[in-house]
Amino acid sequence: MNRKVLVTGGTGYIGSHAVVELQAVGFEVLIIDDLSNSTAEVVDQIEKISGIRPGFEVFNLLEYERLQTFFVTNPGIEAIIHFAAFKAVGESVEKPLAYYRNNLVSLMNILDCMSEHKVPNLVFSSSCTVYGQPDQLPVTETTPKKDAESPYGNTKAISEELLRDVVNVNPEINAIALRYFNPIGAHPSALIGELPRGIPNNLVPFITQTAAGIREQLSIYGDDYNTSDGSCVRDYINVVDLAKAHVIAINRLISHTNNDRYEFFNIGTGNGASVLEVVHTFEKATGVNVNYKIVARRAGDIEKIYADTTMANNVLGWKAQASLSDTLLSAWNWEKKIRNIK
């Protein structure tokens, strides 16, 4: 019998790629998603890629009774990957209460149900935003956390503390938090990728939509930061590489090879790339020019951050593989497919 994993937010951008990678190594996957930032058609696309249709239910994790019923009717879940969360930095500055309520209460409901229904393992979708604007780069897992620059980042920092405290007093629960840097790109099949609702909050879909003529112009927020070209620097990680980290983390939890019952790892490439560098790399990889303009800085943005991935490489046994150029090309292939661009 295949081992059963619940993926919350499994029709979302990172979640859908994780479902494909879990199925590829034989896990039975169940998805809960409220479709607030995705569509049900993603399940069909997952099935096209893997030949397996994951279990799928539509509801919000704040619906506690519904979540309880889900665990009663789906016994034997060995692990949960918790992706479901609001994730737009700018929006979180405008709507802090919505972010705190959604991101924190959903995790608390999951942890309650894990305890009650004897689900022992959790992989938590965290973020490099927990570091705030670090004093030293690259950031390691022991880099002191600064105040988060946004309510979104703060929900991830609080969630990690919540996880640590729950694991400390509950010997039946083990958890790994994966601190993502900036996920980009799409599955090589171009059947799943990043498709934000409305105006994209992330750089790469805005680049691809501008290149496709969906958006008139890409705004680059600031060219006066203390970086090589004045634009913000991030660590851009291929989404398939990122998805594979979750499979490794699940296996680590199930096989009890984790040294501590609560662990956390940076998941990035270890290299920083500026916004302008990403734009120019995209243009070179695809042969398509991007219409962009420099505008004022955006509230909540960190100047520069990139990962030290030594722990993920040596302890978790995971390493990023894809190049920035290939990853941006995969994002463009996805954009072309969904827009029917030849």
DSSP 8-state code for residue 120: -
Neighbour tally for 54: CB within 10 Å: 23
How far apart, in whole angstroms, are the C-alpha atoms of residue 83 and residue 100? Answer: 15
Task: Catalytic residue, from 13, 99, 131, 152: name it.
Answer: 152
Largest CA distance in the chain: 57
- Going by C-alpha positions, the residue among 29, 32, 153 that lies closest to residue 86 is 153
**Residues 269, 311, 140, 162: is their CA dihedral positive or negative?**
positive
Residue 243 and residue 171: Cα distance in Å, rounded?
27
Distances from the Cα of 265 to the Cα of 36, 215, 273, 310, 312, angstroms: 28, 36, 20, 9, 6
Q: Is 152 a catalytic residue?
A: yes
For residues 239 and 185, is the Cβ–Cβ distance under 8 A?
yes
Cα dihedral sign, 2-122-310-180: positive
CA distance 316 to 297: 36
Active site amino acids: 152
